[in-house]
Each structure stands twice: as C-alpha cells, then as structure tokens.
Amino acid sequence: MGIGVIGIILSLILLMYLAYKGISVLILAPILACFAALLNGFATGDIHILATYTEVFMKSLGGYVMKYFPLFLLGAIFGKVMDDTGAAKSIANIICEKLGKKRAIISIVLACAILTYGGVSLFVVAFAVYPIAAELFREVGIPKRFIPGAIALGAFTFTMTALPGTPQIQNAIPMQFFGTDVYAAPILGIIASAIMFFGGLFWLEFRAKKAMAKGENYGKHLDEDIVKIDTNNLPNFWISMLPIIVVLVMSFILSKYIFPNVKLDYLSKYETSASKVIGNWSLIISLATSIIVAFTFNYKKMENPLNTLTKGVNGSFLAVMNTASEVGYGNVIAGLAAFAIVKSALLGFSSNPLISEAVSVSSLAGITGSASGGLSIALGALGEVYLKEAQALGISPEVLHRISAIACGGLDTLPHNGAVVTLLGVTGLTHKESYIDIGMCTAIIPTLAVLACIILGSIGIV
C-alpha cells in the first residue's frame, strides 16, 4: 500500500476520531484534506497545498452551498416556525393523547415521524417531542433510557431517507446526480420504511417490556429539568398540520405535473437541464409556501416573529457549512492520485452498482458521522459511474436514488454522529444507557432495509 493510500486512510480515521471528540468539522475537514494531499504529494512529487485548499476544497464547498443552501435555509426557518408557534408540540401532543398511554412508544415514534416527514428538522423534533415523551414514559413507567431510541426511530430513519416525498436533505441530494425527484422509487421506499418502522418498533417494545418485567421503571433523574407543556396554549392540531400537508402536496404536484409540462429549454444557457432542477425547485417553492402558511395561521402564537426568522436563518448556516466542508474534503480526496486505488476497490466490490453504491455511501457516512456528508462525498466521486453502470444493466436511476438515500441513513449514526450526541444531550442520558437502542433502530435495521431494497431493485422493483 502506497503512502498516498495510507494518507487517505489515516485522514479518514482522524476525521472520525476528532469529530467524536467534539472538534468542529469546519476546522477538521480542510486540515485533514490538506494532510492527505501532502502525503499523496510525497508519493507523486507533486505538492500544492495552497492550491488544494483554495482551488479544490473551497470550490467544492462553494458549489455545494450554491446547490443546497436554499433547502437548508428554508428547512431551518420552517422548523423554527413550527417550534416557536407550538405547532410541533401540538402535533406530538395530540398523537400521544389519541393513541393513549399504553401505546407510549409508538406514539412518540409516530409524532417524530409526522414532523420529520413534513420537513421539520431532526433537531427541532428532538427538542419539541422530548418533554412530551418524558411525561408520557414517566406516567406509564417505561424506563427513560428508551426515549432516545423512540425519538431516533421516528426522526432519524425512514422519514429521513426512505419514505417517498420526504423533503429532508438526504432525500434531495441524489436528485442532482440522477435527475430524479423526492418521490423516486416509491415501492422500494415504502418497503424500506416498513422494515425500519416495524423492526425498530418491535425492538423497542421488546426491550422495554423485558426491562419493566425485571422491575425497572422510569427511574430517578435528579438533574431532569422538564418544563410542563401548557396544552391550553397550543395551536389547533389541523392548523398545525396544514404547513406539513402543503409541503408534501405541493412538492408532488410541482415535480410530477407542473414543471414537467413547462418548457425549460432555456436551461441549456445555464449549463444544466430540467431533470437536474425540477426536484430542487419543487422543494424550494413548497417549503417557502409552507413557511408563509405557518406564519399566516400561527402569527399570534409567536412572541417575536422576527426573532424566529433570524434564529432559523442563523441555524441554517452551521448545518450547510458543516456538510459543505465534508464535501470539500471528499472532493480533495477524490482528486488524489491514490484515490484511484480506493475507487477501484469500491467499484470492484461488486459487479452490481447498487451494492457498490450502498457500501461506498454507508461507509463514508459512517466515517464522517453525517448522512448528508457521506452521501454527497460518495455520489460526487462515483455517482456518474454508478449511473452509467446501472443504465447498462437496465436499472432505473430512481433505484439508485432510493438505495443511496437509505444507505446514508445507516452507519451515519455511529456514536460520534452529531445528531446522536445532541439527542443524548437533550434527554440527559449517556451512550452507555441508550446507544444500544439508538444503534439498533438507526444503524442495524436500516442496513437490513438497504439489503432488502438492493435485492428488490436488482430485479426491477421500483
């Protein structure tokens, strides 16, 4: 193995380890990208660190921001509006109330699922649902350590990557590479969603019942500080649901019926095509409209609407820059001479492009601790190759879209994942207490769902 390959592997290991230790990827990504380039330069005699940083890393970062910032921005604003108006809490509260205390786990899972499927960010969902989950689990006597698993199952799995139409960024990224939309491969998406939902629910119910049978209850948590939700001041359930319905319905109509019937020949002037922008445009219009709807119907529920808007905007910056930095890192690695060996290994893993795609996306998502980051890096480096191989085998681009989206939502939730760390911080629990359930619901079972979809997609099911 050459020094260049060793540099790539070592930089990936350091990225994973140091990110787990809490160092910002905004610092890590450029430094480790240049480190890998430096070792590669020793092997080739071609060392250009500053050019690597400004002409490869920063250009890739800027390109990613250009493509996806509108989705990050609108998604963050939408989530903040749903949070500050109380709409997210209203939806979660009514679902838990209607299903009853005996169905506490499925209530929390469904509440999180509806919110994330409607476009509310994962982090907003965790903050909004946790107080309701804590109160419900305490009343029923379910150990608190299962709350993170329930929230993660509803927010970090099938509604993030698999369910057709989800406006989450992980379902939007493949559109640029395969000319698809968020409803790509609906049958595969529904099957994968069912595997994740029922598999995760079975696991959590089994584990909780086993723990309770041994005499374990909610437990004493002296440092727990939960503000009881004033349900009398929450907005109406259906008014709260309206912006979510708008997102899903509008994106479907725009991507399937409106834009495909609009003459978009002029896009050739912008060096792009209709297939590459329709999905993006549909989401942008849908999210923008849903924000207007949420503001219009719940304006009086916000203490300071301008502050809500500002916080949403500010929240989008870190999210998009973190992912864009990982993409910049990935593009530096992909441009190194030594990456040809890595690329050959990934492509040679299987003659089936679906298997190779799933392995590359999942492994990079695991290393970076980011579903969107790993997905962007893998498709940026190999997406065009996978598309050509799939077309040669008669495999639909929609299958590539769905497999890549589902695969990014597996190993991304290893212990160093930012969403996992945040979720545990919100709930006041530790990896030791709750990670086994988070990992089973968000890594192991989704990986099984990917395997099932690869088999079905290979035989033509879309």
**pLDDT 10s digits, 61-78:** 999 899 889 988 998 899
% pLDDT > 70, the chain: 98
- Please give the average per-residue pLDDT across 286-296, as a whole number: 93
**pLDDT tens profile 169-179:** 999 999 999 99
Could you tell me if residue 345 is left (phi over 0), alpha (psi between -120 and 50 degrees) or otherwise beta?
alpha
C-beta of residue 148 within 8 angstroms of C-beta of residue 423: yes
How far apart (Å, rounded) are the C-alpha atoms in residues 401 and 142? 38
How far apart (Å, rounded) are the C-alpha atoms in residues 70 and 320? 10
Average pLDDT over the chain reads: 89
Q: Cα 309 vs. chain centroid, distance in angstroms?
A: 22
- The owner of tokens 């997905």 is 375
Could you tell me if residue 168 is left (phi over 0), alpha (psi between -120 and 50 degrees) or otherwise beta?
beta
What does each C-alpha distance from 336 to 28, 80, 382, 403, 421 come to in angstroms?
18, 40, 14, 27, 32
Those residues whose C-beta lies under 8 Å from the C-beta of residue 392, and which sit 6 or more positions away, are: none
What pLDDT shows up at residue 224?
Answer: 66
DSSP-based three-state secondary structure for 93: helix
How far apart (Å, rounded) are the C-alpha atoms in residues 138 and 144? 7
The full DSSP string for 155-219 is: HSSHHHHTSTT--SHHHHHHHHHHS--TT-SHHHHHHHHHHHHHHHHHHHHHHHHHHHHTT--S-
Which amino acid is residue 397, in one-letter code?
Answer: P
pTM for the full predicted model? 0.87
More confident call, 46 vs 93: 93
What does each C-alpha distance from 451 to 338, 361, 425 come to in angstroms?
30, 13, 32
- Please give the average per-residue pLDDT across 296-321, as a whole number: 86
How far apart (Å, rounded) are the C-alpha atoms in residues 418 and 30? 19
Those residues whose C-beta lies under 8 Å from the C-beta of residue 328, and which sit 6 or more positions away, are: 29, 30, 33, 56, 57, 58, 60, 61, 64
Q: Tokens standing for 353?
A: 């492009």
Write down the H helix ranges in 299-440: 305-334, 339-347, 353-368, 371-392, 397-408, 418-427, 431-439
C-beta of residue 135 within 8 angstroms of C-beta of residue 161: no
C-beta of residue 447 within 8 angstroms of C-beta of residue 210: no
Is 347's pLDDT higher than 80?
Answer: no
- Please give the average per-residue pLDDT across 246-258, as a whole number: 93
Is 259's pLDDT higher than 90?
Answer: yes
Which amino acid is residue 376, in one-letter code?
Answer: S
State the pLDDT confidence band at 222, using cuts at 50, 70 and 90. low
- For Cα atoms 45, 48, 54, give the angle at the middle one, nearest 5 degrees: 160
What pLDDT shows up at residue 227?
Answer: 60
**pLDDT tens profile 416-443:** 787 888 888 888 888 898 999 999 999 9
Give the residue among 345, 370, 358 at the shortest CA–CA distance from 451: 358
Domain ranges in the chain are 3-459
Q: Tokens standing for 312?
A: 């949403």
**pLDDT tens profile 95-139:** 888 887 789 999 999 999 999 999 888 888 888 899 889 888 988
- Please give the average per-residue pLDDT across 323-337, as a whole number: 86
Which helix (DSSP H) or strand (DSSP E) does residue 76 occupy?
A: helix 58-84
How far apart (Å, rounded) are the C-alpha atoms in residues 196 and 27? 34
